[in-house]
Chain A
Amino acid sequence: MSEPEIAPRKRFLAENPSALRFIGCLALFTLGVTVLSEGFGLAFLSTSMVKILGMTLCLCLIAVAMDVVWGYCGILSLGHFAFFGLGGYAIGMWLMYARTEGIVVQSLAAAPIPPTPTEIENAIATQIFGVVGSNELPFVWGFAHSLPLQLLLVLLVPGLLALIFGWLAFRSRVTGVYLSILTQAMTLALSLYLFQNDTGLRGNNGLSGLQNIPGLLHLSQSTLAIWFFWASALALGLGYLLFAWLVSGKFGSVIRAIRDNEARVRFLGYDVERYKLVIFTLTAVVSAIAGALYYPQAGIINPAEIAPIASIYLAVWVAIGGRGRLYGAVIGAAAVSLSSSWFTGGGAPSINLGFYTILWTDWWLVLLGLGFVAVTLFFPRGIGGLFDYLVRKP
């Protein structure tokens, strides 16, 4: 037998220069923002701007997860924002509880007799749930006093939900648009559930004051903002590497094969359902982590965040960025969410046509919607595809 042409084994990063390039860009960006930030550097970027950038990084992370589940594995999930929101809720519960506890303990310290643990808990419950007419701590808040436990819940709750939902859906071979509608139904059910006042998560009030981090109250928001920015950048970097590693090897080959022809993959002996379940659950957990980093920067979370439309927007970002390439998801999420906040926040100048003035706060969504149609029709590979076109070797 002649010596076959074997691809020599190389290090993962060396084999995936695009991942390396991405990490480099992210590091440069992080450094740049830090230098320009109010908290650490030259104060060219306001704290709210740093927060917006940090939040954008979290959105990029969930977009990368969405790209893996949709762009690589072909599952158009319209429910990943549910996991994002659940992650936010899980961390938000601790933030709110611990902060309220601090306030309550301080206010009770003036009492002649020191408070018992039950009294403290009741006071916290009244403080948090007075707004929905309750003064008892619901059982879902049983772990809210402990940061490690609640961090565990950030991973476990969305993970288990994804596992159970995915197991049910994939087992009965729900695919394509049916699966999309089913995931949409899941999100809708979850957000309707959270909208109720008696489910223990403050109904449509949601959780608020999340920007105040217990234990770090002595730090200014500008410092906290840059810390969270770093954490978000780190999470995005690690998440990106994880997924790049996942989709580059044989596993990636199998899930792309599932996307293209899942029946054929089955006849090769692969248990397609289990692969989908692994991808669905893993991306759900990463989405939850992104959410857990996002909401302390946003400061507030309510059930409207989980509404089905959010997850559809997520798909829009990935499609515009170019699915099937991880950096495309990052570009799409960053470009669309940043320009959305620029246009709707009144940053964009109005255009006076003489007979009519285009106010971008009114017309941005029209532009986005039509632009999205155009991308789907004319650039199915999105902005990332445009990149490919430009750098393609002649």
Chain B
Amino acid sequence: MCSPASLARLAVIVTILACTPALRPGVAIAQEGLQPLLQKYQAEIAKPSRTTVDRVLAALLRENRPGTSEFLRRWQDRGVYERPGDGFFFYAQEASGALHLIDIDSGVAVAEVTRREINQIRPNSGVRGVIAAALAPFELNAPEPARRQAALDAIARSGDADQIVPLADSIDHEPDAVLKRRKERLLVLLTAQFGTPQSARLTAISDLAGDISIEARSVLNQLTARQAGVAIALPEGANIARVLEVGEDISGTEAYDRLVGAGLAPPRQSATDRREVLAQHIVDGAVGGVPLHQLDTDAARTRAYEALEAAGTVPARAAENEVARTVAAHVFYETYVQPDPEVTAAAEDALATTTRTLGLYQTLDLVLDGLSLASIFFLAAIGLAITFGVMGVINMAHGEFIMMGAYTGYVVQIFIPDYTFSLIVALPLAFAVTFGAGVTMERLVIRHLYTRPLETLLATFGISIALQQLAKNVFGTQARPLTAPDWLSGALTLNDIVSISNIRVAIFVLSLIFLALLLFILKRTRLGLEMRAVTQNPGMAASMGINPNRINMLTFGLGSGIAGIAGVAIGLYAQVTSEMGANYIVQSFMTVVVGGVGNVWGTLAGASLIGFLQKGIEWFNPSNTLAAQTYMILFIIMFIQFRPKGIVALKGRAAGD
């Protein structure tokens, strides 16, 4: 029985024989081995560079002596050594501090040397890329999947027409399903670019329609690449993409500049040039008879220049009507770089389909982004919504509770190195810490201010700045890491466009859990019932035997505790700093206000609106998130004009006051 390895080796040899120039009858299989051929290009191999490597590779592949692919692979991997004395090349094997030199042709060890006595050949990364591309056809059938993978990567990076045949041939022998699919795809891509005959190429191009991968799109973009052109008449036989209408598709100035660029018209004189020219012709404190001190207007300078023109001292400038005439006498157009009109037409069609699909996926991605942002806002704001809604208390320190939760997570990670376990500990601990802080604050401060809501705002602001500075004093000003466990650090990827990081998915899930939990607490538990009673009519609730003090305390604790958990979640994907809470507080307020106070669904609606809106605006102007935030706030200000009580408003007489 043959071992699988030897079978694979056999396959390599068969493939090399089948698909390389060795089949050409004129070239006999060389008897003298690889080394002499290598010696012919000794200098280029020993010191390879981008400029010389192509010539060497062409020669090696033309001759294709046995062991060429092995040599190329080793050369690429820095596994080839040069003996300084005679310049011969060897492979080498490491053995107890020394190197066994191995003859390239025979594969036997010939000598043992130290590293000092021999030069390792180190091609730079550019050269290695070129070698990899040349090696690709050989490697496509290599026994190790990793090598085949590398070969495919090399083809994907720099494909050319020669690779089509070996690639096509290798597909049938490919045992690995994933690699096989990749090969088939690469084949389509290569055929679309370089394939013959035309029909095969057109089929390949239409196969690419709707393919949103970056490589497919770049192939289509290459095929439809355009070049601007200008001429007296449209060139015969060129693959014209479109003819530009001066004044509509291209401005007159631009058109003239193109003429100048193509050398079809003299350049226009700029104001700077004219000043230079005038300065060179100052005679007795005047230029062209115009005194220097008058030359501070454009009109005077024109007069002076015209005087110089009339005297013949300077060349005439292109007059404005001349410019218009020259432009009108030419036709401006765009040609495809690709000469074949059928190919470009097919590529344009395919690209249009791809663009549509792309739009669809981008929308999906946008929706996912919006959802993720909305869930972050929801998490950050829901605690605030509870305290604001039930107690009418504006808690400016809410952001600092978020920060506290995040720092709790950080401290837990210091003591528990296992990230998963520390996260499991941190979540309830953050809740406990901020719950405690919230209850303390309620008992010490807020309790005394229930009748003065605006002053609660200010007092909690005082607490907020104190807490922020305290955090700075304890943890320093630099950001602290809150590392996510490995299973959270990846991303869910659907394709090149749509992907979402696991942390954001986790935050989304977390906010769903909180939504469910809060709805449960509010609708199904005694505490929730009492909370709702206090929200709607505190006086009546008190007379029904509900202790509003206790309810307020618990409500505040609950709201703060949720802020703590939100802090851990936010800390996982953003950085933990003493100012992180402040970044969320205004957004959280707006979420609550837009959504409508005292209602979980309202907060959800507010968070969704703000999250999606922000992402939507960012999509229009992706480079400028500041502008997106500005417009979003303006939108919110306008929104409150029309729904002062938010999306989900409390109704009835109680809500009126």
Contacts and interface: CB of A to CB of B under 8 A. Distances in A.
Q: Do chains A and B touch in the complex (CB under 8 A)?
A: yes
Interface of A: 76, 111-119, 165, 168-169, 171-174, 176-178, 180-182, 184-186, 188-189, 192-193, 195-196, 198, 308-309, 312, 315-316, 319, 362-373, 376-377, 380
B641 A172 contact: yes
A152 B495 CA distance: 57
B465 interface: yes
16 contacts: A112-B282, A112-B292, A113-B278, A118-B298, A169-B637, A169-B640, A169-B641, A177-B453, A178-B644, A182-B640, A185-B589, A193-B626, A195-B626, A196-B624, A319-B455, A362-B473
B458 A168 contact: no
Given A176-B454, A362-B469, A369 B464 contact: yes
Contact of B295 (A114, A118, A365): A114
Q: Which of A117, A165, A182, A368 has the most CB of B within 10 A?
A: A182
Interface in B548-598: 582, 586, 589-590, 593
A376 B449 contact: yes
B19 interface: no
Contacts of B461: 312, 315-316, 369, 372
Nearest to B645: A178
B513 to A, nearest CB: 28
A363 B469 contact: yes
A186 B626 contact: no
A374 to B, nearest CB: 8
Interface stretch (B42-50, B253-261, B627-635): B627-635
Contacts of A186: 633, 637
B641 A176 contact: no
Given A113-B278, A114-B292, A370-B462, 6 more contacts: A112-B279, A176-B453, A178-B640, A362-B469, A366-B470, A377-B448
Interface in B617-651: 624, 626-627, 629-630, 633-634, 636-638, 640-642, 644
A384 to B, nearest CB: 16
A193 B630 contact: yes
A197 B468 CA distance: 29
A362 B454 contact: no
Given A181-B590, A185-B586, A377-B445, A172 B630 contact: no
A308 B586 contact: yes
Interface in B289-322: 292-293, 295-298, 301
Given A312-B461, A372-B461, A189 B448 contact: no
Interface string B462-490: 11111111101100000000000000000
Nearest to B298: A116
B466 A366 contact: yes
A-B CB proximity, top 4 nearest: A369-B466, A372-B462, A365-B469, A189-B633
Contact of A196 (B282, B453, B627): B627
A362 to B, nearest CB: 5
B228 interface: no
A192 B627 CA distance: 7
A196 B633 CA distance: 15
A380 B448 CA distance: 11
A204 B503 CA distance: 32
Nearest to B628: A192
Nearest to B304: A113
B219 interface: no
A204 to B, nearest CB: 10
A366 B469 contact: yes
Nearest to A263: B657
Contacts, number: 161
Given A114-B293, A376-B455, A368 B644 contact: no
B92 interface: no
Given A112-B292, A181-B593, A192 B465 contact: no
B474 to A, nearest CB: 10
A363 B394 CA distance: 25
Interface residues of B, number: 56
Contacts of B412: none
Contacts of B626: 192-193, 195-196
Given A113-B279, A362-B472, A373 B296 contact: no
B110 to A, nearest CB: 63
Contact of A178 (B271, B275, B593, B634): B593
Nearest to B448: A377
B319 to A, nearest CB: 21
Given A115-B296, A196-B624, A316-B458, A189 B644 contact: no
A324 to B, nearest CB: 13
B586 A188 contact: yes
A373 B462 contact: yes
Contact of B462 (A184, A362, A376): A376
A113 B642 CA distance: 61
B459 interface: yes
Contacts of B593: 178, 181-182
Contacts of A113: 275, 278-279, 282, 287, 292, 295, 301
Contacts of B469: 362-366, 369
Given A185-B633, A188-B586, A174 B644 contact: yes
B606 to A, nearest CB: 12
A116 B463 contact: no
A176 B597 CA distance: 13
A304 B295 CA distance: 44
Nearest to B275: A113
Nearest to A375: B462
Contact of A189 (B457, B467, B637, B641): B637
Contacts of B459: 372-373, 376-377
A310 B582 CA distance: 13
Q: Which of B293, B298, B396, B461 has the most CB of A within 10 A?
A: B461
A377 B452 CA distance: 11
A59 to B, nearest CB: 18
Nearest to A376: B459
Given A114-B292, A192-B633, A195-B626, A185 B454 contact: no
A195 B633 CA distance: 15
A323 to B, nearest CB: 10
Given A116-B297, A372-B458, A192 B640 contact: no
A193 B470 CA distance: 31
A366 B458 CA distance: 15
B586 A184 contact: yes
Contacts of A373: 445, 459, 462-463, 466
Contacts of B452: 380
A365 B644 CA distance: 35
B636 to A, nearest CB: 6
A177 B465 contact: no
B508 to A, nearest CB: 26
Given A116-B298, A362-B469, A366-B473, A180 B633 contact: no
A168 B275 CA distance: 53
B578 to A, nearest CB: 11
